[in-house]
Structure 1
Amino acid sequence: MAPQRFHEQFDHIQRSLPDVPLTMGPDDSAGFLYEKGVVLVRDGEEAGFVEDTVRTHFTETQGLVPDHVRRIGPQAGRTGVTRIRVGDPAEGEDTVPHALRAVREAEDRQGRRLVGRNHVVHIAPVNACPGDEPVPAPRTEPANPAPAEGGYDPGTAVGVLVVDTGLVHDHRSYPLLAHTTGDTQLTETDDHGVLRQYVGHGTFIAGLLAAVAPNTDITVRGTLNDAGAVLESEFGALLFEAVDRDGWPDIISLSAGTPSADHDGLIGLDAFMQELREQRTLLVAAAGNNGCDTPFWPAAYAALPEYADCVLSVGALRADGESGACFTNHGPWVRVHAPGERLTSALTGFVTPVPYVYQHSTYDTCRFGADYPCTCQYPRHTGVLSEGRESTGAKPDQVMFEGLAQWSGTSFATPVAAGLVAARMTAYRERDPRAAGAALLADATERAEVRGAHVPALRPPTWRPVPAVIPAVPA
């Protein structure tokens, strides 16, 4: 993990959630952010028990009963969770670790986790350490993966829901997205007409899906429009809202999540995941870009037996397709890897070129320790958030986007894998997306090397390897 990039991203996410005090931890290498002074619990008897336990613990260890230990609204709702304040963020020290320790013994007795941090869930290439930022691609450069053969038939099209940022306003000017529907991005540019960070993320994903699987009805919901960051306590309700608007689809493509110190999932997603299990929908989720083996949720649900058939976790292959990208998370909880470095898709429409200013700087060497020319290093640019930039007088680089872009992250390997499941459903007239996903994995004979392990790899027929080094982005 790269502490510099982590802190840059932490500051950015904190600005996007100005009313929520955030902290990180337990250290930089953990790679997760959470609400300071607040824990998340299931509503009902468990919430009352946690309140009483934390008060008792603080009384015995500190000689006082803190008045601030109380439930705070809004309460529960469909997700069945509530927040309990266990400390005053203004006092400096974060009391969440103390509260978690206070209930661990009770959890061991009950064999069930009662309390957890209220994590910040974020877009995978934005997960406190982005894969990279987009790079303009010439209009003459074809999409990669290129559009697969076959047409669109509304009578047989596979339904895919993309939960992400919304679509750019002129997305239909990109032919592959002519029949894509959903929410438009709330605000695309700032007061100076510069493209905001992460705008186009959902559009880029939809373009990849449509290229790999033309016979799809893609709906993009702008659940993560606000800089791609949302509290876990709200995320479950937002997912319910997304599926309730259009019904449960065949496939959900989700390029968001969070690492966690817990190994049995996220309390805030319990209700959604239990309902998902009862549906026929396949959740295809990004493994995250921390370059580590810490489980990234909800992708890591794929490793839990009760969710193995309904969740497909996806890591990213580097540009040559032979091994894992430097940033990809890895481990036995990642079911499959697909191309996710320097893919080419639509970032904006083709109506009006729009400028973008880089937020992060590239590195002299890979920040994850890889020994190939990765996206940490190329193309070279200086970003606004980089530490020490002002003292050197370096100006942030600005580029123009006019349609296509190259972008890297497990965010983009995810729709590639989702598209391959959808394409298999069309090719074999399979109506069960989970059966199609299982068959796709069973037939996956190709392998890639990821951190010393040889893992299943999915490479679309129309995907092509790209050079390891690309020209530097002009200032």
Structure 2
Amino acid sequence: MSTSDGTGTDARRPAPHDAGRERAKVRQQVTELVRTAREPALRRQAQRSITARYRARCDRTLELVTGRDGHDVLVAAREVIVTRQTWEDTGARAYLEIRGLRREELDAPGVDDRIVLLRTADEVSASELDDTVAELRLRGFPVSQNQVLPCGPIMKNLGGPALAEALPRPRHRPGADAPHVAVVDTGIDARVRRDGWLVDVPRHADGRDANVDPLDIDPGDGYLDLCAGHGTFVAGVVAQVAPTARLTVHRALLGGGVGTEIDVATAIVRAAEEGADVINLSLGASTLYDQPSLAVEAALDRLAEIEAAEGREILVVAAAGNAGDTRPVWPAAFAQVVAVAALTAEHRPAPWSSHGFWVDCSTVGEGVRAPFVQGVESYEFTAEPDRFPADSFARWSGTSFAAPQVAGKVAALMAEHRIGARAAYARLRATGTAVPDYGRALRILPGM
């Protein structure tokens, strides 16, 4: 008697792999990356989906605010971030209070001594709040709305991953004293795979360190949520490149695959305090004033203190984004962060990848293969949804999947040469070829 895995195929005999369909889906991903960057209607559709799902999961509202150059940014409604120095300035505080902003309790260990979160008591639009921000900025004070950092479709195609042929069972397991790579993302699949991939990643369903990706709660319709499985896929990319590295996943991106800059900053500090040598951020956004995130800047300052106090090196690697232009994307654009752009499968600059002087390196970002989660894609996000069985693999495209290759390779070089993370990155970068606006082009994993 045959047994079924719920996907309509025999669980003992996987369906024959369709390589042609896999290639066609990857071509579709690349086409949609280009289209999304150029089509305002597609971006608005993505923003509506994100906003609805974030509200459903977090009971918080996101708003779209348009900058003076017509650039759109998502922010947490009615929230403003200032530095502690700004809040302690008598004139700045008086101005903020006149505008109806009040200090909120901030549960963000590692950054709550450096930034202050403010919220308006009344309904104030993001555009009105931006006028307050602009006025304070003109007076020389660091201030911003609490901006949203997405993994996904504001800067990623809506088409989603493509079902792919499985990779062989890994031949190595992480060592207790191996380099530690932390992935800050949507979380890890709660289900432990049977094929040996990602089985050593700690999973926590509850509490402050909860890191399980719910996969289907927005709206709980039997289909994978927007950006579901993103963190699992990114972790799988790291595991391919650095199979002996110790891997942890931290959930900072919630409904719709987004989190506020405070959510991300808190996760960065937590990862560092738990001993991470390399921190991967396959997320990011451009900002209203092309200025760095105040919360993430505070987190990076905390990392520098940890490095000095403990005598170790912590390297942060971030995706450059999929906007196809030269506008800086944060946190990748921070000088102390390694910004990773994408190349095509043929190792040429990917035109859909964000790029510019602020990019440090690049590697293949089209048709990258990695472990994925079990579930069915929704027609809301793709015209040809895939059904992913247990222990499935997928191919996905975006700078999200170029960055973890660099993070993994740094960890592998650390283990091989017994050196720190920054020294390992310098060694890796030296192997690359200089490409204008794409940093050093590196060969790590193949694409399609």
Which residue among 310, 332, 337 is the counterpart of 2:362?
Answer: 337
Q: Which amino acid counterpart does residue 178 of structure 2 have in structure 1?
A: A
Distance 1:413 1:256 in 2: 12
Post-superposition offset of 1:290: 1.8
Matches within 5 A, 1:232-311: 232-244=261-273, 247-278=274-305, 279=307, 280-302=313-335, 307=336, 311=337
Q: Which amino acid counterpart does residue 322 of structure 1 have in structure 2?
A: R
1:404 aligns with 2:393: yes
Q: Could you say if the C-alpha distance between residues 426 and 4 of structure 1 is closer, same or farther in structure 2, counting changes exceeding 3 Å? A: same
1:458 aligns with 2:442: yes
2:214 matched residue in structure 1: 187
Post-superposition offset of 1:259: 1.1
Residue pair 1:154, 1:217 contacting (<8 A) in 2 also: yes
Q: Could you say if the C-alpha distance between residues 147 and 106 of structure 1 is closer, same or farther in structure 2, counting changes exceeding 3 Å? A: farther
Which residue among 160, 165, 176 is the counterpart of 2:186?
Answer: 165
Matches within 5 A, 1:166-245: 166-183=187-204, 185-190=212-217, 191-244=220-273
**Alignment deviations for residues 210-267 of structure 1 (CA, whole Å, 9 cap, x no partner):** 11111211111223243322222443233333444xx231111111222113455211
Q: Which amino acid counterpart does residue 241 of structure 1 have in structure 2?
A: R
Between stretches 313-322 and 96-105, larger displacement belongs to 96-105
1:363 matched residue in structure 2: none
2:413 matched residue in structure 1: 424
1:134 aligns with 2:160: yes
1:122 aligns with 2:150: yes
Distance 1:166 1:153 in 2: 19
Post-superposition offset of 1:454: 6.3
**Alignment deviations for residues 239-298 of structure 1 (CA, whole Å, 9 cap, x no partner):** 333444xx2311111112221134552111232111212321101111112222221111
Matches within 5 A, 1:359-378: 359-360=380-381
Q: Which amino acid counterpart does residue 45 of structure 2 have in structure 1?
A: E
Q: Which amino acid counterpart does residue 70 of structure 1 have in structure 2?
A: R
Post-superposition offset of 1:24: 2.5
Q: Which amino acid counterpart does residue 380 of structure 2 have in structure 1?
A: Q
> Could you say what secondary structure the match of 1:7 adopts?
helix
Aligned Cα root-mean-square deviation (Å)? 2.8
Residue pair 1:75, 1:82 contacting (<8 A) in 2 also: no
2:91 matched residue in structure 1: 49
Distance 1:76 1:419 in 2: 28
Distance 1:248 1:234 in 2: 19
> Could you say what secondary structure the match of 1:32 adopts?
strand
1:9 aligns with 2:42: no
**Alignment deviations for residues 334-389 of structure 1 (CA, whole Å, 9 cap, x no partner):** 100111111111112xxxx53211434xxxxxxxxxxxxxxxxxxxx53xxxxxxx
Distance 1:76 1:203 in 2: 24
Q: Which amino acid counterpart does residue 339 of structure 2 have in structure 1?
A: S
Identical aligned residues as a percent: 27
Between stretches 12-21 and 155-164, larger displacement belongs to 12-21
Distance 2:358 2:160 in 1: 28
Q: Which amino acid counterpart does residue 83 of structure 1 have in structure 2?
A: L
1:356 matched residue in structure 2: 377
Distance 1:435 1:11 in 2: 43
Post-superposition offset of 1:87: 8.4
Distance 2:222 2:66 in 1: 36
1:437 aligns with 2:419: no
Q: Which amino acid counterpart does residue 401 of structure 1 have in structure 2?
A: F
Q: Which amino acid counterpart does residue 321 of structure 1 have in structure 2?
A: H
Post-superposition offset of 1:417: 0.9
Distance 1:27 1:98 in 2: 11
Q: Could you say if the C-alpha distance between residues 35 and 322 of structure 1 is closer, same or farther in structure 2, counting changes exceeding 3 Å? A: same
Distance 2:387 2:347 in 1: 28
Q: Could you say if the C-alpha distance between residues 465 and 16 of structure 1 is closer, same or farther in structure 2, counting changes exceeding 3 Å? A: closer
1:316 aligns with 2:331: no
Distance 2:96 2:253 in 1: 33
Q: Which amino acid counterpart does residue 316 of structure 1 have in structure 2?
A: A
Distance 2:212 2:107 in 1: 29
Residue pair 2:51, 2:256 contacting (<8 A) in 1 also: no
The TM-score normalised by the length of structure 1 is 0.74
1:35 aligns with 2:76: yes
Q: Which amino acid counterpart does residue 238 of structure 1 have in structure 2?
A: A
